[in-house]
Amino acid sequence: MSETESVPTTAAAAPLGFLGRVRFRWRAEQEIHELTRDRALEERVRAEAAVRLAPGPWHLGELFRRR
């Protein structure tokens, strides 16, 4: 008896339909995006967008705000 013969295996999962595959891919892509995104760059882009979209001296602080 080998090492793998004594390990019980679970039944194979039922095949997913088209919608199930799309849902699985969407979740996987979202998880990868969340794990690999550059949060510092995202904050800089948001700060710059805030200043460009609503210019004025009261929005300049957004560029220098610590997060």
On the 0-12 / 13-18 / 19+ scale of CB atoms within 10 A, 50 is middle
Tokens 């090492």 locate to 3
Tokens of 66: 């610590």
Give per-residue pLDDT as tens, 9-67: 676 777 778 888 888 888 988 888 888 888 888 888 887 777 677 666 766 676 677 66
17/2: higher pLDDT: 17
| Residue 58 confidence (pLDDT) | 65
Say whether pLDDT at 1 is over 60.
no
pLDDT of residue 48: 79
Q: Which pTM value belongs to this model?
A: 0.42
